[in-house]
Amino acid sequence: MKYVDEFRQKDLAHKLSDEIKKQVDPSRTYNIMEFCGGHTHAIFRYGVQDLMPDNVNFVHGPGCPVCVLPIPRIDNAIELAENPDIILCTYGDMMRVPASKKKSLIKAKALGADIRMVYSTQDALQLARDHPHKQIVFFAIGFETTTPPTAVAIHQAQAEDLDNFTVFCNHVITPAAIQHILNSPEVRELGSVSIDAFLGPSHVSSIIGSQPYHYFAEEFQKPVVITGFEPLDVMQATLMLIEQINEGRFEVENQYKRVVTKEGNLKAQSLVSNVFEMRRKFEWRGLGDVPYSALAIREKYAKFDAEKRFTITKSTGRDVKGCECPSILRGVKIPTDCKLFGTVCTPENPQGSCMVSSEGSCAAYWSYGRFRLDKPKSLKKKKVTEKSAA
Amino acid sequence: MNKMSKRFPMRLNIRNGHVDMTHGSGGRAMAQLIEELFVKHFDNELLRQGNDQALFSGSGKRLVMSTDGHVVSPLFFPGGDIGSLSVHGTINDVAMSGAKPLYLTAGFILEEGFALADLDKIAESMAKAAKTAGVPIITGDTKVVEKGKCDGVFITTTGLGEVPDGLDISGSNAKPGDAIIVSGFMGDHGVAIMSSRENLQFETQIVSDSAALHGLIKDMVEAVPQINCLRDPTRGGLATTLNEIAQQSSVGMKLFEDDIPVRKEVSAACELLGLDVLYVANEGKLIAICPAEYADLLLQTMHKHELGKHAAKIGSVLEDDMGFITMETGFGGNRIVDWLAGEQLPRIC
């Protein structure tokens, strides 16, 4: 497959692996946070960790759009879907994310709510055209990559005068979240999470460019290498980060030059700023309220804003007791630190969002089996109990 | 016993739960529904064989029976339709015991308002598939439900077959050291279905691999009667089917991604749609597991048959009572190949 196979070549992977092993300083560890779920997925799916020396660790960040949405927003979506006048359109991964009271969109659907899985905003628009007597609500989630298509849909809906199409907007902003993680006490003061460097987002950066990362590379003195989602991209970027760390540099480098420019996609940016404005704050699962980290629909497009068109009850839903998704999303814990992992929480019965999406850390740990090598803590504890009981 | 060896960490919530789409996707949710609800009520020795068909004796013969419901959407797709699929699917389930399929039955649930011209096309296609396979449809049933109560037509077929002497083929027979072989390219059916979905149409030359495999199986068991397992990787794909076998046989498996045959177009489509081809459905492919010393002979035999000419050895069975399947990736790393969680494709067979 052209343009894909080139980035998955085994011989090149081994060459890069040898080079990384040559470059690393054996007296230290390298903790590299990959912000994006896409990177997490690639690392697990292709077994990238196997090609790394023991002292290079990947810390999985919060960049999975499904994982970071807090429970109250999913409760809101279910409430909208339960309105018999509404057809709620959502991307597939959202269907199984647990909300409060053991609900989820897929369970709401089984009980009669009209919820359609769509592949793009265009599908949702088409539903609005096809069902003029129904209200079509598009459950918009995602980082900067998925925001422009939502903006296009709102423009189209206005041009066509579709008065039965609205967007429940949950679009979030990447740099704000990275900065929030770096500002968190665990990283800054307590040092309980050590992050030495970042693999920067790939698709997100194609929209926003490499510019927005310069501030925190400098402020927090952490190197960033923007990289693609293919396994060779990840390996090359890791090598670049190790070189920066060894040389004491903290720059923003762009390994993903075939897609990402410094300025990004200006047309998409202007489209987004025409339709959306910053929310003063937005709750992220795991990060809590993060200032200026999400978008709302501007007043001039209020008729397409589901939050303004429909009454939505304020939800106080909270994470399942014991679920460590919040800490996992901050990189403070790994999935096997959670006592629900693999016991009550599996991809079939997810208790937290990280177990749902293939980009979520827990699902990746479970599906691709990293946990079997990491000696889960809960297993160790169990052995101790058995011994003491004997 | 550690926590990972428990098959289903949480019991099915029969009191308050509801059927959702994951219960039909062929993955672990479905396995749990069958085990904790159906097997609980129906439990008997034959059912406990746990295969896609049940082997029993009648009139001094070793017979097998299998049944399969078909609810595919869309009804007509590149390379087939619900009619041919319903014939091939059941013939294959019968044949995966090594049996010669003898007869089929067909039950139809029709939706009020369904075009008779379409029904005629489907029946014609079923008849053609049955005739080509040499397995007649000998009885049937027809029901009609009100508009909206089903999606055009649902077809359930049942098949009866006879197992030749000297064969002992079951999902529970895989043994450490055995070779794992697939009969051809993986993922064709699932991708063909996806390409014809209303909201996802994309241009591709890929057609469904829907085919009756009993001819290929006849050649295989004649050449290598020592075959331990045969199974068709339909819903849930290669990964889920291998996990079922690993579970049933209490063994592990090691696969090599580079050795798994996948058409370029199928990998490209999977890449585009974000699917893992290991979980994409097939309707005319089989997995064969046999002692390593017979692997070459089996492959040679398969290569001579039209439906097995791209057969390949993709890995080996290992000792591991946890039933883990690992794969060396094309990239040189390792990963676990787990059951399908949730669903990749709705209603593909």
Write the CATH number for B248.
Answer: 3.90.650.10
What pLDDT, in 10s, does the model give residues A49-78?
889 999 999 988 888 888 888 999 999 999
Q: CA-to-CA distance for A317 and B167, rounded, in angstroms?
A: 58
pLDDT at A116 over 90: yes
* φ and ψ of B81, to 5 deg: -155, 175
- Cβ-based neighbour number of residue A60 at 10 Å: 28
Domain-embedded: residue B172: no
Task: State the average pLDDT over residues A45-52.
Answer: 90
Domain-embedded: residue B341: no
Residues of B in contact with A347 (CB under 8 A): 28, 341-342
Angle at B274 between CA B271 and CA B277, to 5 degrees: 70
Task: State the average pLDDT over residues B334-349.
Answer: 65
ipTM summary value:
0.78
Task: Say if strands A135-142 and A165-171 run parallel, antiparallel, or are unpaired.
Answer: parallel
Answer whether A48 sits within 8 Å of B331, measured CB to CB: yes
Answer whether B338 sits within 8 Å of A13, measured CB to CB: no
CB-based contact (8 Å) between A98 and chain B?
A: no
What pLDDT, in 10s, does the model give residues A367-387?
776 555 443 333 333 333 333
Answer whether B338 sits within 8 Å of A367, measured CB to CB: yes
- Chain A residue with minimum CA distance to B331: A10
Out of B199, B264, B331, the one facing A46 most closely (by C-beta) is B331
Q: CA-to-CA distance for B70 and B83, rounded, in angstroms?
A: 9
What pLDDT, in 10s, does the model give residues B247-294?
999 999 999 999 999 999 999 888 888 788 999 999 999 999 999 999
Q: Do both B183 and B305 map to the same domain?
A: yes
Nearest to A64 by CA among A169, A167, A172: A172
* pLDDT for the residue numbered A389: 37
Q: Do both B250 and B200 map to the same domain?
A: yes
CA distance A81 to chain B (A): 16
Longest CA–CA span in chain B (Å) reads 59
Task: Say if strands A288-291 and B80-81 run parallel, antiparallel, or are unpaired.
Answer: unpaired
Q: Do both B113 and B184 map to the same domain?
A: no
* pLDDT for the residue numbered A306: 97
* pLDDT for the residue numbered A24: 96
* pLDDT for the residue numbered B201: 66
Alpha helices in B51-151 (DSSP H): 82-95, 116-133
Domain-embedded: residue B65: yes
Domain-embedded: residue B4: no
CB pairs < 8 Å spanning A and B: 110
Q: Do both B186 and B150 map to the same domain?
A: no
* pLDDT for the residue numbered B349: 38
Is there a contact between A47 and A27 (Cβ–Cβ < 8 Å)? Answer: no
pLDDT-derived band of residue A347, with 50, 70 and 90 as boundaries? confident
Domain end marker among B109, B128, B162: B162
* pLDDT for the residue numbered B342: 63
Identify the CATH assignment for A1-319 out of 3.65.10.10, 3.40.50.11740, 3.40.309.10, 3.40.50.300. 3.40.50.11740
What pLDDT, in 10s, does the model give residues A247-280?
999 999 999 999 999 999 999 999 999 999 999 9
Task: State the average pLDDT over residues A211-233.
Answer: 91
B148, two tokens: 């909206």
The domain ranges of chain A are 1-319, 325-389
Q: Do both B201 and B330 map to the same domain?
A: yes
What pLDDT, in 10s, does the model give residues B68-116?
999 998 999 999 999 999 999 999 999 999 999 999 999 999 999 999 9
Nearest to A355 by CA among A336, A373, A374, A372: A336
pLDDT at A119 over 90: no
pLDDT-derived band of residue B20, with 50, 70 and 90 as boundaries? confident
B3, two tokens: 């926590």
Answer whether B341 sits within 8 Å of A119, measured CB to CB: no
Out of B200, B268, B335, the one facing A119 most closely (by C-beta) is B200
Is there a contact between A181 and A68 (Cβ–Cβ < 8 Å)? Answer: no
Q: Do both B213 and B329 map to the same domain?
A: yes
* pLDDT for the residue numbered A8: 84
Domain-embedded: residue B173: no
Q: Do both B140 and B253 map to the same domain?
A: no
* pLDDT for the residue numbered A191: 64
Residue A190's Cβ-count burial label (10 Å; 0-12, 13-18, 19+) is exposed
Answer whether A342 sits within 8 Å of B9, measured CB to CB: yes
What pLDDT, in 10s, does the model give residues B26-74?
778 888 999 999 999 999 999 999 899 999 998 899 999 999 999 998 9
Q: CA-to-CA distance for B88 and B281, rounded, in angstroms?
A: 14
Answer whether B342 sits within 8 Å of A10, measured CB to CB: no
Q: Do both B218 and B320 map to the same domain?
A: yes
- Cβ-based neighbour number of residue B165 at 10 Å: 7
Nearest to A166 by CA among A177, A176, A158, A174: A158
The per-residue b/e assignment along A136-169, b for 16 or more CB within 10 angstroms, e otherwise, is: bbbbbbbbbbbbbbbbbbbeebbeeebebbbbbb
* pLDDT for the residue numbered A189: 67
Domain end marker among B95, B127, B162: B162
- Chain B residue with minimum CA distance to A7: B331
Nearest to A238 by CA among A8, A6, A4, A43: A43
Out of A14, A119, A382, the one facing B332 most closely (by C-beta) is A14
Answer whether B333 sits within 8 Å of A14, measured CB to CB: no
Residues of B in contact with A342 (CB under 8 A): 3-4, 9
* pLDDT for the residue numbered B200: 65
User: What is the number of structural domains in chain B?
Assistant: 2
Domain-embedded: residue B50: yes
* pLDDT for the residue numbered B5: 38
What pLDDT, in 10s, does the model give residues A283-312?
998 888 999 999 999 999 999 999 999 999
In this prediction the pTM is 0.85
Q: CA-to-CA distance for B30 and B49, rounded, in angstroms?
A: 17
B335 HSE (CA, 13 A, CB side): 24
Residues of B in contact with A372 (CB under 8 A): 4, 324, 336
Answer whether B336 sits within 8 Å of A369, measured CB to CB: yes
- Average pLDDT of chain A is 87
Is there a contact between B259 and B314 (Cβ–Cβ < 8 Å)? Answer: yes
A350, two tokens: 């997810």
Q: CA-to-CA distance for A256 and A224, rounded, in angstroms?
A: 12
Nearest to B226 by CA among B166, B161, B296: B166
Q: Do both B134 and B223 map to the same domain?
A: no
Which residue range(s) make up the domain with B125?
A: 44-162
Q: CA-to-CA distance for A66 and B167, rounded, in angstroms?
A: 49
What pLDDT, in 10s, does the model give residues A174-203?
888 888 888 877 776 666 667 899 999 988
The H-or-E segment that residue A39 falls in is: helix A37-45
B60, two tokens: 């001094």
* pLDDT for the residue numbered A190: 63
* pLDDT for the residue numbered A380: 32
* φ and ψ of A331, to 5 deg: 80, 10
Domain-embedded: residue B261: yes
Residues of B in contact with A38 (CB under 8 A): none
Q: Do both B194 and B331 map to the same domain?
A: yes
Domain end marker among B162, B193, B208: B162
pLDDT at A343 over 60: yes
Q: Do both B149 and B186 map to the same domain?
A: no
Is there a contact between A131 and A87 (Cβ–Cβ < 8 Å)? Answer: yes
CB-based contact (8 Å) between A50 and chain B?
A: yes
Q: CA-to-CA distance for A256 and A216, rounded, in angstroms?
A: 19
Q: Do both B152 and B83 map to the same domain?
A: yes
Alpha helices in A138-202 (DSSP H): 147-159, 174-183, 185-188
CB-based contact (8 Å) between A197 and chain B?
A: no
Four-residue CA torsion sign, A193, A199, A204, A207: positive
Task: State the average pLDDT over residues A92-119.
Answer: 89
Residue A373 in 3-state DSSP? helix
pLDDT at A105 over 90: yes
Of B290 and B194, more confident: B290
Answer whether B20 sits within 8 Å of A106, measured CB to CB: yes
Task: Say if strands B80-81 and B61-70 run parallel, antiparallel, or are unpaired.
Answer: unpaired
